[in-house]
Amino acid sequence: MAALTRMLSAKRGFAHWDWTDWISYVYLVFGTLLMFGPVLWLVFSSVKSPSGLVEFPPTLLPWEQTRVSVPGQTASLPLFKIAEGDHAGQTLAEIRKIGLQATMVDPAKPDTTIRVPAAGLKKVMHLRAAWENYTDLIAKLNFGLYLWNTVFITIVATALTLLVNSMAAFALSKYRFKGREPVFMVMLATLMIPPTIVLVPNYLIAAVLGLTNSLWGVIWPAVATPTGVFILRQYMLTLPDDLLEAARMDNASEWRIYWRIVLPLSAPALAVLAIFSVMWRWNEFLWPMVVLSRSESFTLQLALNSFQGDLETQWNYLLAMTVVTLLPVTIIFLLLQRYITQGIASAGVK
Amino acid sequence: MRWAQSRLRDGRLGWLFVAPNLAVFGLFTFLPIAINFWYALTGGTELLPRNRPFVGADNFATLLNCGNYLDPNSCVRDTFWHGIWNTTKFVLLQVGFMISFSLVTALVLNRKIIGRGFFRAVFFYPVLLSPVVVALIWKWIVQRDGVLNAALQSTGMSGTNWLLDPSWAFFWTVFVSIWAHMGFYTLILLAGLQAIPRDIYEAASMDAASPWRTFRRVTLPLLMPSLAVVFILGMIRAVQIFDEVYVLTGGGPGTATTFMVQYIYNTGFAQGVREYGMAAAASLLLAGVLLVLTAIQLKGMMRGGRGSAH
């Protein structure tokens, strides 16, 4: 024990822990449980069968009551171990329970029923991961369509976002033209107009353009973002103008200069914007809900929402669908954490 | 040729490159603002602006028609006023607690901690989850047969149907939105803390200043710009709270967790008779609040802080 304490308190360059260290670690461990525990609980719950999900009290691992099919019985029967009385120690299947009495049957001798007090019954449990929660999503629940809609929106919108914003950033950082500063200020000013306050007119414009219930109705409004212009412009300002001049000497067209020189050199900033764009589009909710009302055009987020609003929520499918929805974001985070946190710390975007 | 190109470069080419961006902004940001005013000043249920009868300030008058502004039930549009008061309460509680927790977390993470990268990632992770996912994660935990009630019962306490009790439902909207967003503010505050020069702390320890005194006299004043940015940013976001709450509670029970954006959404899109004019008028009132907050934020940005929304 003393050795353990010594090992734990061996800190880089510090001989002893004072109380503030202890408080810090207690805070962090508690915080970790609170921040990550709920996600783990979701993931573990998502491989439980419907009968495992309603077990109370709930367990972390997918325990569920064992059922057997008994000749002569139409449905499969739940297994119980008898804890007391004449049949103590036997494992029997329950046919029905009326009041305090349960009618049981021995699966080995299906012809004779046995009556025992219901109080002495202990469920026979076994572990089983219900992977069918995941496979059924595609087979039964149109999940493939929602996934495809979401992937399509995310990829197309991100590609267009990069193109449209980098073009603007290129002009705003590398050309001197009348109106350059006002244009930049006007673009930044759009930061002040969050989409929540122009829902009605945006819906009208989407309707007039025939974009309602079309994935393009989610894509187009998203492709110009002030944050994107800002990040890219700030980065392009650091690229030396000499490079562009040298290319012009070689008679490169302006489009070629943008496409072959400036864009490749801006890769780090483009990567940051791409990551953010993917997150924004994947997670977007309110605007898609307004513009996409038919279930064929639902994104994952909309499908999750409508699914959880059903009167009879099938939690096993809902949980599995939630896990699939958070998976891509989690993978991106694990791989690109550094870019994400740096991007946020430097531009303050989310 | 080169002459022509350089002339173009300084003139039309620049505009050509910004044109796609401006077109999208124009169509989906600037034009909508103008149209929004027209919607707010017209009535009826027609979507097409030319079919809508002009009603002047009627929509605003209806929204603001109250016997007593402190009592939503005395208002013609009581849900709107429930929304306003709920949002006010939410912003004060959520931003206050969230910034406090973020500050404490940032201070802890700024220490020489083993596994700092891991802990920072853990606190940040929920920020990336979608609001729908966040709401479902917590709905699964606090539902009647959920793990929270089971844990409470195992310690002898009795659970409750959390989301069906108005006060508890409100508590959970605040709690869940803090859980989902505090990592973002922690990160910005941590960057602010790390920007404080080390030698100032060394000077403080030379003077044998107590940790509390160092915090009060060195850390807090130097962190003020970051704190101010985070505070305003948090308010701008909190005023627009919608997604998580909509999935978690649907605005209920009753109107206990109905906030302003949900009122706009319900009025304009979710009711049988869509009242576009009323929704637009409400959104203009919300825009007024946001404009004030954003003006404060931009003023801070000009002075060298950071912070923006997408």
pLDDT one-digit tens code per residue, B73-83: 888 888 888 99
If asked whether residues A96 and A185 sit together in one domain, one would say: no
Query: What's the CATH number where A193 sits?
Result: 1.10.3720.10
Work out the minimum CA distance from B148 to partner chain A, whole angstroms: 10
What confidence tens digit (pLDDT) does each residue in B224-278 have?
888 988 888 898 889 999 999 999 998 889 899 999 999 999 998 888 888 898 9
Q: Which run of H or E residues covers position A148?
A: helix A143-174
> Do A75 and A173 fall within a single domain?
no
Nearest residue in B to A247, CA atom:
B2
Q: What is the pLDDT of residue B158?
A: 83
Question: Is A33 within 8 Å of B179 (Cβ atoms)?
Answer: no
Average pLDDT, chain B: 86
Whether residue A112 sits in one domain with residue A193 = no
What is the enclosing helix (H) or strand (E) of A110?
Answer: strand A109-117
Q: What is the pLDDT of residue B293?
A: 82
Do residue B24 and residue A220 have CB atoms under 8 angstroms apart?
yes
How many residues make up chain B in this entry? Answer: 310
Query: Domain map of chain B by residue range?
Result: 78-302
Question: How far, in Å, CA of B195 to CA of A58, rounded?
Answer: 46
Q: Is residue A86 part of a domain?
A: yes
In a domain, A194, yes or no: yes
Q: The CATH number of the domain where A103 resides is what? A: 2.30.30
For position A11, what pLDDT does the model report? 46
Q: Which residues of A touch B145 (CB under 8 A)?
A: 54, 56, 58
Residue A117 lies in a domain: yes
B interface mutation test: which of A17, A196, A244 has the most B CBs within 10 A?
A196
CB–CB of A183 and B18 under 8 A?
yes
**Inter-residue contact A322 to B166 (CB < 8 Å):** no
Query: Residue A305: is it exposed, middle or buried by C-beta count within 10 angstroms (0-12/13-18/19+)?
Result: buried
Per-residue tokens: B50: 């030319």
pLDDT of residue B88 exceeding 60: yes
Asked, for residue A146, whether it belongs to a domain, the answer is yes
How many structural domains is chain A composed of? 2
- Residue A83 forms part of a structural domain: yes
Closest to B290 in 3D by CA, of B262, B261, B255, B267: B261
| Residue A21, domain member (yes or no) | no
- What distance in Å separates the CA atoms of residue B164 and residue B307, rounded to the nearest whole number? 37
Single out the residue in A92, A123, A154 at which a domain terminates.
A123
Amino acid A348: pLDDT = 61
- Whether B290 shows a pLDDT value over 80: the answer reads yes
| Domain closes at, from A123, A149, A164 | A123
Domain match, A76 and A163 both? no
The one-letter amino acid code at A280 reads W
Q: Is residue A11 part of a domain?
A: no
Alpha helices in A194-309 (DSSP H): 199-208, 216-219, 226-236, 241-249, 254-256, 263-265, 267-283, 286-291, 300-309
For residue B306, what pLDDT is reported? 46
Chain B residues with CB under 8 Å of A276 CB are 310
A339 Cα to chain B: minimum distance (Å)? 12
Domain of residue A317 covers 141-347
Question: Tokens in use for A13?
Answer: 């360059």
Residue with tokens 């087979």: A139
Q: Which residues pair with A65 in a beta bridge?
A: A125
The whole-angstrom separation of Cα A268 and Cα A336 is 12
pLDDT of amino acid B185: 93
The interface pTM score, or ipTM, of the predicted complex is 0.85
Both A84 and A233 in one domain: the answer is: no
- The structure tokens listed for A153 are 């929106």
Q: Which residue(s) pair with B66 in the sheet?
A: B75
pLDDT one digit per residue (tens) for chain A, 350 residues: 555 555 554 444 455 677 888 889 999 999 999 999 999 999 999 988 888 888 777 888 888 888 888 887 778 888 888 877 777 777 888 888 887 888 888 887 877 788 888 777 888 888 887 888 888 888 878 888 999 999 999 999 999 999 999 999 999 998 888 888 888 888 887 877 778 888 889 999 999 999 999 999 999 999 998 888 988 998 999 888 888 888 888 888 888 999 999 999 999 889 989 988 999 999 999 999 999 989 899 999 999 998 887 767 788 889 999 999 999 999 989 988 888 887 777 666 65
DSSP A293-322: -SGGG--HHHHHHHHHHSSS--HHHHHHHH
Q: Look up residue B216 and give its DSSP letter.
A: I
- Measured distance CA(A293)–CA(A291) in Å, rounded: 6
- Would you say residue B70 has pLDDT above 50? yes
> Exposure of A12 by Cβ count < 10 A (0-12 exposed, 13-18 middle, 19+ buried)?
exposed
Report the alpha-carbon distance of residue A153 to residue A226 in Å, rounded: 19
A85, A103, A115, B69 from A112: Cα distances, Å: 18, 10, 10, 73
The burial class, CB within 10 Å (0-12 / 13-18 / 19+), for B281 is buried
Instruction: Enter the tokens of residue A281.
Output: 């589009």
Residue pair A199/A290 in contact (Cβ under 8 Å)? The answer is: yes
In a domain, A154, yes or no: yes
**CATH number given to B78-302:** 1.10.3720.10
Question: Do A200 and A113 reside in the same domain of the chain?
Answer: no
Which of A77, A93, A123 represents a domain boundary (last residue)? A123
